[in-house]
Structure 1
Amino acid sequence: MIPNYVLLARRAVPPKQQYMVTELQRRMESSVVLQSPPNPSILIALNLAGGTQDGMKEKLMVQQIKDRIIKEGTVEMTSGQVALYILALISSCEDPKCITANINLVEVLKLKTKEELTYLSDHSTPKTTFYQLSLDTLALCLEGANVNEAAVSLAKEALAKDFFVDTGAMATLALTCVDNRLVKAEQSRILAPIHEALYKLRQQILRAVETNTANIYSIGLALQALNVTSVSYPTGDWSCSQTLAKVLTEISQGAFNNPMAAAQILPSLVGKTYLNVIRLNCSSDKVMVKYTIINHLRGQHFTHTISVSVPKGSVLLSVLQAAQQDNPQDFSYETEQTSWGLMVVSINNRAANSNDKTYWQFLNGTEPLEQGVDSYIPSNNEHIEAIFSTY
């Protein structure tokens, strides 16, 4: 027998009611205007549903997120807000580690998650909520960070407490991500509590959906959690079609007209979960750039070369950011803002000096670049050189 969690992923909204899904997408997209605050949940949902009809809307939402981070900083953000921004950027094939040369959202979230866990250890509750701690664990897991400590803490708390449906669903997604990444033979200490917690959470969510005690606005996340479960449900335990019919009835009655509410239900209507944000096809939008830094002028000489992949259309600064991320020991850099734009003033701890009349010159082959690092857009397989030079 095919388990229901597989059927849920395959099941489509009936053709006669597909217009409801389309209308939800339209409402969400039309809510995004230049003056609106960034809403990562809407960006995630639209990308999981196949993207925006208007490509400029996606670019606007991405830019709103980046502008918010750059202008207001991350100090006052909760860990969950940072996690949502990371998921949203990933879903748009953006690198959350390179917001600017000095802002790495993944590192920010690691610190905020550590604060959550320290507070949890001292006070038996996280600094914010278990929902946000689950979001944190999921986002860091999808970014490839080590979240074993967070996952074990979350699993133990899930076993000791009864989470609300939306919190339990988000915890299920986070723990499933960690479970999928662990090497089973080497991680029995970690796997045991995770598997126990996943079983308990799934049973709680299933019971809430079965008995209609789950809030209608929690159903979307509940369906995501049931969608990733690795156990089948005996006949009669849960009817996916009945749950879907209930959701569609609520949509027809206007329950999800609010764009934020629509963002909660849309992914499950198209058979996707937050785990899928990392699997969206971004490969065709990438270019490979070879980047070499050379100093044969002052101090210890060096020549280092690296090849990095950046989104198509990225400026040269993104190449420097990616190189530094991959190899910070050799490819660190510093910039200064000038009236002509950003200027690179130091690479690999070798700083330009006006007294020595030294600077970093960027070239494509033998031709000096006529644009700055925040303007020049490298092409696929281009070789960029940065040479410490004199004028």
Structure 2
Amino acid sequence: MFPWTLAVLCVLCAVTSASEKCTVPADQRSLVTKLQSTMESYIVPQSPPNPSILIALNLAGAQDSKTEKLLVAQIKERIIKEGTATMTSGEVALYVLALLSSCEDPKHVTAHISLVEVLKLKTEEELIHLSSHGKPYTTFYQLGLDTLALCLEGVDVNDAAVSLAKMALAKDFSMDTGAMATLALTCVHNRLVKAKQSRILAAVQEALNTLHQQILRAVETNTVNIYSLGLALQALSVTSTSYPSGEWSCSQTLTKVFNEISQGTFNNPMAAAQILPSLVGKTYLNVNRLGCFPDKITVEYTIINYLRGQHFMYTIFVTVPKGSVLLAVLQAADQANPQYFSYKTEQTSWGLMIVSINYCAANANDKTYWKFYNGTKPLDQGVESYIPANNEHIMAEFSKY
């Protein structure tokens, strides 16, 4: 069911007067539903991965879960097959946001690929180039995307935020760039306030005020490109909740949007992806607040054998219900990749013991066994008793006693 409880644009556009509220009119809601359906229909197995569409679908509430799963698979396949070396920082940032919106962990695309680490390096390259040449390696729009994605992942992006803020005050950003910078700086601003860090707060706040006025003026004077309007509305929604009477009529803006939808202006899937989030009262700041796995945890599980036979070290990330014992982690790993993570148990007077992992079996004659660690600390409980925490790293090492 389409989540029309989310489609209240007064949250996004607020009010133009005490009596006028800005919402999607009931007789226009079918247009938004149709717009989303049209966008989803463009996604087929042969289509290239499109993170922007995945973000929009998840923010709106994907009507077809198969489409969402296909987009996630396409994104992961590209990353695994082609790598990230040729991707720009903004591309990586979009992939991070897209995976977050689908409750996927961008830090663990595979055991060896962390998009967050890749993005941190590429963002640093942008900042170095900005410091040396007065402009980022790519564009300020991409630097805004980078800052937003890393901020949502909890990475310290104060340096990037300061650079964005300074440039926002020094030059006129395009509408798309200004809107993306607004979303990024809002994320950083909220974290600074929460952490009671005031050193750069004033600069960020000043930039946000400036960008807000620029975007509001462009929307008010109807000089915003129709394809930039979606990001502009997202930016306005996070920087203010009310406007003086007569300053801007959100209802008039909506009328323009729905006229364009009726004429097929947004039938292109990318155009639809740009406008759809704002029509359901969401912004890119919402991608990591979609209720992902509230009752589950992710555990990193590594098996190591440098002792006997063919040496190996394999790592997998598994999701299990919160409160599960370690045995559930081993079971999940076995189900996900039995080629490497199969195991055998044996019941003893001390409880259930793991006697073989990846066909490497313990042997009393040569005094070998499987020893489990939490990071580098040996576990003092068995697999039926120990309860891992979220993001914990469990290691099983073939050892001698």
TM norm. shorter chain > 0.5: yes
Query: Could you say which residue in structure 1 is the equivalent of 2:54?
Result: 43
1:143-193 CA distance string (max 9 Å, x none): 000000000000000000000111100000000000000147853331111
Pairing 1:46-125 to 2, within 5 Å after superposition: 46-51=57-62, 53-125=63-135
Distance 2:357 2:270 in 1: 45
Distance 1:59 1:95 in 2: 14
Q: Is the 8 A contact 2:55 2:98 kept in 1?
A: yes
Distance 1:135 1:215 in 2: 20
Pairing 1:22-33 to 2, within 5 Å after superposition: 22-33=33-44
Q: Is the 8 A contact 2:14 2:243 kept in 1?
A: no
1:185-223 CA distance string (max 9 Å, x none): 853331111111101100000011011111000000000
SS in 2 for 1:283: coil
Structure 2 vs 1, CA of residues 289 and 368 (structure 1 numbering), >3 Å: closer, same or farther?
A: farther
Q: Is the 8 A contact 1:221 1:265 kept in 2?
A: yes
Query: Could you say which residue in structure 2 is the equivalent of 1:226?
Result: 236
Q: Is the 8 A contact 2:12 2:278 kept in 1?
A: no
1:255-310 CA distance string (max 9 Å, x none): 10001100000000000000000110112573566969799x96xxxxxxxxx983
SS in 2 for 1:189: coil
Q: Is the 8 A contact 1:119 1:126 kept in 2?
A: yes
Query: Could you say which residue in structure 2 is the equivalent of 1:310?
Result: 319
Structure 2 vs 1, CA of residues 362 and 125 (structure 1 numbering), >3 Å: closer, same or farther?
A: farther
Distance 2:132 2:339 in 1: 44
| Paired residue type of 2:340 | M
Query: Could you say which residue in structure 2 is the equivalent of 1:21?
Result: 32
Pairing 1:150-161 to 2, within 5 Å after superposition: 150-161=160-171
Q: Which of the residues 186, 194, 201 maps onto 1:176?
A: 186
| Paired residue type of 1:310 | T
What stretches of structure 2 of length at least 5 have no aligned partner? 1-9, 308-316, 347-351, 360-385, 389-393
Q: In the alignment, is residue 343 of structure 1 matched against residue 332 of structure 2?
A: no
Q: Which of the residues 184, 202, 215 maps onto 2:225?
A: 215
Structure 2 vs 1, CA of residues 341 and 184 (structure 1 numbering), >3 Å: closer, same or farther?
A: closer
| Paired residue type of 2:226 | I
Distance 2:55 2:86 in 1: 22
| Paired residue type of 1:135 | L
Q: Is the 8 A contact 1:38 1:68 kept in 2?
A: yes
| Paired residue type of 2:256 | K
Q: Is the 8 A contact 1:170 1:221 kept in 2?
A: yes
Distance 1:258 1:311 in 2: 39
Structure 2 vs 1, CA of residues 87 and 290 (structure 1 numbering), >3 Å: closer, same or farther?
A: closer
Pairing 1:340-379 to 2, within 5 Å after superposition: 343=340, 365-366=352-353
Q: CA offset at residue 7 of structure 1?
A: 5.1
Structure 2 vs 1, CA of residues 236 and 66 (structure 1 numbering), >3 Å: closer, same or farther?
A: same
What stretches of structure 1 of length at least 5 have no aligned partner? 299-307, 324-339, 345-359, 373-380
1:290-338 CA distance string (max 9 Å, x none): 969799x96xxxxxxxxx98377xxx9xx69xx9xxxxxxxxxxxxxxx
Number of equivalenced pairs: 333
1:114-139 CA distance string (max 9 Å, x none): 00000011111111110000000000
SS in 2 for 1:188: coil
Q: Is the 8 A contact 1:361 1:389 kept in 2?
A: no
Distance 1:3 1:343 in 2: 50
Query: Could you say which residue in structure 2 is the equivalent of 1:302?
Result: none
Identity %: 68
Q: CA offset at residue 361 of structure 1?
A: 5.5
Query: Could you say which residue in structure 1 is the equivalent of 2:4?
Result: none
Q: Is the 8 A contact 1:361 1:388 kept in 2?
A: no
1:350-377 CA distance string (max 9 Å, x none): xxxxxxxxxx9676944668989xxxxx
Q: CA offset at residue 87 of structure 1?
A: 0.3
| Paired residue type of 2:127 | L
Distance 1:29 1:61 in 2: 10
Distance 2:344 2:243 in 1: 61
Distance 1:20 1:212 in 2: 22
SS in 1 for 2:239: coil
Structure 2 vs 1, CA of residues 11 and 371 (structure 1 numbering), >3 Å: closer, same or farther?
A: farther
Q: Is the 8 A contact 2:15 2:243 kept in 1?
A: no
* TM-score, normalised by the number of residues in structure 1: 0.76
Distance 2:196 2:33 in 1: 46
SS in 2 for 1:386: strand
SS in 2 for 1:243: helix
Structure 2 vs 1, CA of residues 183 and 227 (structure 1 numbering), >3 Å: closer, same or farther?
A: closer
Moved over 2 A (4+): 2-8, 183-189, 283-295, 308-312, 340-344, 360-372, 381-387
Q: In the alignment, is residue 280 of structure 1 matched against residue 286 of structure 2?
A: no
Q: Is the 8 A contact 1:294 1:387 kept in 2?
A: yes
Distance 1:193 1:385 in 2: 45
